[in-house]
Amino acid sequence: MTDISGEAPAPRSGVGQGRVRVWDPLLRIFHWGLVAAFAVAWLSAEDMQPVHELAGYTIAGLIAFRLVWGLVGSRYARFAQFLRGPRAALGYLGDMARGQERRYLGHNPAGAAMIVALLLALSGTAFTGWLMEEPERVAMLPDLPRIVAPAHADADGEYGEVGEGGEVLEEAHEVLANMTLLLIALHLAGVVLASVRHHENLARAMITGKKRSPGSGDIA
Ligand code: HEM
Ligand code: HEM
């Protein structure tokens, strides 16, 4: 069998005997850093603005890192290894409903779709937060003012008070933040469900980086 980790090859028989490195250290730091930064952003929203913004920018930085790491990172961190179309994700959910889904050593197709959704929702939240900080930032965008702040440009096309356009942005920021929270709840449900179904603690694997070596029928 191919050595997937750079470590000693896993035993072929006796599923559960060997463990292999799946998540590299930077990916794990990214994950838990994201969890911490999101918690801080959430808890500091509304009354600790500087902390809130710092946490938001930290999230944006972590996402930027993840995009690069998805291209040049270790095997299971690469987008090409786990990104599949919506059909694969739906097919996997169907298999799950029938209790027939296979075990993936890396991200399964439904988990992969969730990663995309989480990264998009987090980016949108951070971006709208950044935009509403300064009305001029909205004005810098060629198309957005017409959508979010048309009533606000004065005769010179200047944006004064955050006002109505700002309120739309604030609303968008809040909706995106709440959507992210909902996705996180689904993400956690998926992690628990997959952990139960495949008899392994996936949260621990995101700490240690190691998972049970693939058995026959698993997808490595
Ligand atoms: C304590 C709460 C959490 C636990 C236990 C947890 C656990 C996990 C696990 C086990 C995976 C790997 C899934 C797999 O095996 O395919 C994962 C991936 C991921 N989680 Fe979480 N998660 C938590 C909270 C969060 C939060 C709050 C966010 C977003 C703010 C998040 C974003 C992600 C992302 C983006 C990935 C993909 C990792 C990658 O880049 O490859 N998670 N999480
Ligand atoms: C992904 C990261 C972020 C999350 C999860 C997040 C979440 C939130 C939440 C839940 C609120 C409260 C909305 C409400 O109930 O009114 C909020 C408000 C706000 N956020 Fe963010 N935010 C993030 C990033 C940012 C960034 C990067 C900035 C600016 C640089 C920012 C600026 C603001 C501002 C100005 C408010 C309005 C505070 C107020 O007047 O009540 N946010 N954010």
**What total of structural domains would you count in the chain?**
1
Ligand 1 atom nearest 118 alpha carbon: 35
Residues 41-86 pLDDT 10s: 999 998 999 999 999 999 999 999 999 999 999 999 999 999 999 9
Is residue 12 in some structural domain?
Answer: no
Is residue 10 in some structural domain?
Answer: no
Residues 10-22 pLDDT 10s: 444 334 469 999 9
CATH of the domain at 170: 1.20.950
How many whole angstroms from 81 Cα to the centroid of ligand 2? Answer: 33
Report helix angle 25-44 to 163-197, nearest 10.
Answer: 130
Ligand whose nearest atom lies closest to the CA of 179: 2
Ligand 1 atom nearest 108 alpha carbon: 16
Is residue 13 in some structural domain?
Answer: no
Is residue 8 in some structural domain?
Answer: no
| Farthest-apart Cα atoms in the chain, separation | 75
Host domain of residue 102: 19-151+163-212
Classify the C-alpha dihedral 67-70-73-74 as positive or negative: positive
Here the tokens at position 212 are: 């049970």
Is residue 90 in some structural domain?
Answer: yes
Whole-number Å distance between alpha carbons of 52 and 212: 38
Is residue 107 in some structural domain?
Answer: yes
Instruction: Indicate the pTM of the whole model.
Output: 0.85
Query: What does the pLDDT read at residue 144?
Result: 54
Ligand 2 atom nearest 132 alpha carbon: 35
First CA to last CA distance, the chain: 11
Residues 120-160 pLDDT 10s: 999 999 999 999 988 788 888 776 555 555 445 444 444 44
Residues in the chain: 220
Residues 78-122 pLDDT 10s: 999 999 999 999 999 999 999 999 999 999 999 999 999 999 999
Cβ of 172 closer than 6 Å to ligand 2, yes or no, is no
Is residue 88 in some structural domain?
Answer: yes
Is residue 178 in some structural domain?
Answer: yes
